[in-house]
Amino acid sequence: MEQLKTIAIAQQKPLLQTSGLSIGYKLGRNNVKEIARELHLEMFAGEVICLLGPNGCGKSTLLRTVAGLQETVIGTVEIEGVDLGRLKPAQLAKKISMVLTDSVRSGDLDVYSLIALGRYPHSGWLGRLTAEDKSVIDQAILSTETGAFADRKLATLSDGECQKVMLARAIAQDTPIIILDEPTAHLDLPSRIQLMRLLHRLANDTKKAILISTHELDLALQVADQIWLMQPDGHMATGLPEELVMNGSFAKAFNKDGIIFDPATGSFTMHVSGLKSIAVNGEGTAAFWTRKALLRKGFTISAAQIAPLTVTVLENAGQPTWTLEREREITVCTSLRDLLITVNLIKPV
Amino acid sequence: MLAFLLDVALGSIHIPLKAVIGILISPETADTTWLYIIQQIRLPKALTAIVVGCGLSVSGLQMQTLFRNPLAGPSVLGITAGASLGVALVMLSAGTITSLYSIKELGISGSWLIILASSIGAAMVMLLVVTISSSLKDNVIVLIVGVMIGNITFSIISIWQYFSSPELIKDYLIWTFGSLGGVTGDQLLMLTIVVVAGTAISFLSSKLLDALLLGDNYARSMGVTVKRARLLIIGSTSLLAGGITAFCGPIGFIGIAVPHLTRALFNTSNHRVLIPGCCLVGTLLMLVCDIVAQLPGSQTVLPINVITALVGSPVVIWIIIGRNKLKGF
């Protein structure tokens, strides 16, 4: 059974494939600034792909190149086996739809009209909508939950609502591939999670391939089927999120002075570590947050059960107590704050 | 319709409304003087007002969409200036063609010459503005560039005027006041053809214009070839603004004000509705301006430009104040 599944995956053809792709932008005549080279990327139907990388490493350029808005420097982009350069703009628009960072706050444009613009490549030369167009639009509105404000003007929407509307427009364009450039950039946390969940569900339900550039590392780790990790030197690491964590690509891409990616938790820590080491014993929520608090205060968490400095967290009926042991000297704290104060008084070993 | 009737009925010589309707329905029975005034002067003027109202409004609408700027319009972005340059080129080139009136006597070929010169002038300036704006991201800067190019064009005209003979300048100056009255017969037919053609192109590209509302990048992602679309829109705008400017002089503010009024009235951004809407509102506003310009009850007729500015400027102010409440246009 397992074997069958592996074979099935191997036989599936990619929706989009780049080979030997170099991307960059023109600085002037015959002067091309190359950002990344030798990119061999693949997108499959039903996948959410997160493109990660620090600011200014060329994420937008890659997205624009893959979407055919910008020319490739060297190499090819193929969509369903056809070279991108050989597709007419109108044909390409039926393959890839986009959500960009461009502001579209035309005050008089209402939400429904904007979503309906997604039908542009499908509708006739005057843009009249057929019954089929309308049902696709309704479906897009339904799946993005934008029905509640479909007749409002664009200028009256919040950032989160606006982003959902732009996604609905892309869905209405009815393409196998959707590309989103930093869709979560100006959103608050609940809206970010909502949008990412929506994209995840969309890829699952409709078998679209969705490519998202984002800075939301933790969200990307949760929803992405594949991660393209771009590094400032133009190198690209690709794979399952878990693979990239395990093989140290994440740490390599994001480690800057004082910021450390912790493969054990999948998150970043900001502290300057290595000064003091502490062992934390205990299970559950209290122990977890104790570790977080200690990390923040500049401790590293020792993997050993017993270190020169050891905290044991015990939970009794929801009331945690902290027992701090140091060279047979034992202090019991009843609040996390007490623990941190006590621990801070200890000189580094 | 009512505005059209009123426009025909009101003028420096009093003709009762009943008689006007009578003349329009059955010309044979009417008083010959009145018949002449109505048929030769007022009717062409009212028809010109309609054509000009449509053409300028539609060209303004296209410019506002193309530049994604609420203050764009043929008179602000130097299109009218370009057309003026074209006309000045023809009118002030002493020797070959001496004055607007002699051009009129030349008939069709002369009119075509002026239309051509004016349209080419308009297209040149607009191409220049678009070329510069393609490397600029900020719409406000594009607007400033447009205004500056307009200024440059006008100063070229001024320099030219400075070295021209007074008679030529007088003709040109009268032309710059704008007039709906100078267009008759064949010229009206030609102007109508030009405006109908321009409006038709515009209407046929309404889907393009809709897509451009989202900006170049989104338009491209929906399969629009932006460069071709720009050329098409610039072409029809130049045709409209250039043609009208050639015959009626630079008429300001209609191009800016009417699209905003139309959007407010029809409450939509769909160009398939907006373009006919602009024709309607533009016609109405132009007829009203023409009626006001005649100062009903008096013998004086004011230049149409004065009135459109009087009506148009408050609209522009209204837009600027409104923008503080609602982003976008």
Crossing angle between the packed helical segments B108-134 and B185-204, to the nearest 10 degrees:
30
CA distance A148 to chain B (A): 19
**CB distance from A126 to chain B under 8 Å?**
yes
CB contact under 8 A, A117 and B222: yes
Interface test with B, best of A84, A98, A108 (most B CBs within 10 A): A108
Give yes or no: residues A78 and A114 share one domain: no
Give yes or no: residues A37 and A61 share one domain: yes
Please indicate, yes or no, if residue A205 is contained in any of the structural domains: yes
Rounded to an integer, what distance in angstroms lies between the CA atom of residue B263 and that of residue B200? 20
Per the structure, the complete domain to which residue A194 belongs is given by: 15-95+175-258
Please indicate, yes or no, if residue A8 is contained in any of the structural domains: no
Q: Residue A148: count other Cβ atoms within 10 Å of its Cβ.
A: 10
CB contact under 8 A, A127 and B217: no
Which residue of A lies nearest to B323 if distances are taken between CA atoms?
A107
- B203, B182 Cβ separation under 8 angstroms: no
Give yes or no: residues A163 and A182 share one domain: no
Which residue from B214, B270, B326 is facing A155, i.e. has the nearest CB? B326
Q: Report the percent of chain A where pLDDT is more than 90.
A: 18
A310: left (phi over 0), alpha (psi -120 to 50) or beta: beta
What Å distances lie between residue A43 and A67, A227, B9, B16, B141, CA to CA?
12, 11, 71, 77, 40
From A172, A203, A224, the end of a domain falls on: A172
Chain B contacts in chain A segment 95-114 (CB below 8 A) = 96-98, 100, 102-110, 113-114
Please indicate, yes or no, if residue A266 is contained in any of the structural domains: no
Q: What CATH number corresponds to the domain at position A236?
A: 3.40.50.300
- B238, B244 Cβ separation under 8 angstroms: no
Which residue of A lies nearest to B226 if distances are taken between CA atoms?
A89
Contacts of A88 in chain B (CB under 8 A): 223
Crossing angle between the packed helical segments B271-293 and B304-325, to the nearest 10 degrees:
140
Which residue from A103, A109, A121 is facing B213, i.e. has the nearest CB? A109
- A301, A280 Cβ separation under 8 angstroms: yes
Give yes or no: residues A84 and A205 share one domain: yes
From A258, A291, A306, the end of a domain falls on: A258
Please indicate, yes or no, if residue A60 is contained in any of the structural domains: yes
CA distance B325 to chain A (A): 10
Count how many domains chain A has: 3
**Across A44-53, A93-102, A296-305, least confident range:** A296-305
Residue A64's SS3 state is helix
Please indicate, yes or no, if residue A305 is contained in any of the structural domains: yes
CB contact under 8 A, A107 and B204: no
- A187, A24 Cβ separation under 8 angstroms: no
CB contact under 8 A, A117 and B211: yes
**Measured in Å, how far apart are chain A's first and last C-alpha atoms?**
55
Contacts of A89 in chain B (CB under 8 A): 220, 223-225
At B26, the pLDDT band (50, 70, 90 cuts) reads low
Which residue from A93, A97, A107 is facing B328, i.e. has the nearest CB? A107
What's the CATH number of domain B2-325, 1.10.3470.10, 1.10.3720.10, 3.40.50.2300, 3.40.30.10? 1.10.3470.10
CB contact under 8 A, A92 and B211: no
Q: Report the percent of chain B where pLDDT is more than 90.
A: 6
**CB distance from B200 to chain A under 8 Å?**
no
For the ranges A139-143, A231-235, B119-123, the maximum mean pLDDT occurs at A139-143
Give yes or no: residues A87 and A180 share one domain: yes
Please indicate, yes or no, if residue A267 is contained in any of the structural domains: no
pLDDT at A219 over 60: yes
Q: How do the domains of chain B map onto residue ranges? A: 2-325
Count of A-B CB contacts under 8 Å: 95
Digit-coded pLDDT (tens) for A129-147: 888 999 999 999 998 888 8
CA distance B318 to chain A (A): 15
Please indicate, yes or no, if residue A5 is contained in any of the structural domains: no
Please indicate, yes or no, if residue A29 is contained in any of the structural domains: yes
At B226, the pLDDT band (50, 70, 90 cuts) reads confident
pLDDT at A177: 94
pLDDT at B42: 75
**CB distance from A233 to chain B under 8 Å?**
no
Give yes or no: residues A136 and A224 share one domain: no
Contacts of B214 in chain A (CB under 8 A): 102, 104, 106, 114, 117
Digit-coded pLDDT (tens) for B163-214: 777 777 777 777 777 777 766 677 788 888 889 998 999 998 888 888 888 8
Give yes or no: residues A28 and A154 share one domain: no
pLDDT at A178: 94
Contacts of B329 in chain A (CB under 8 A): 106-108
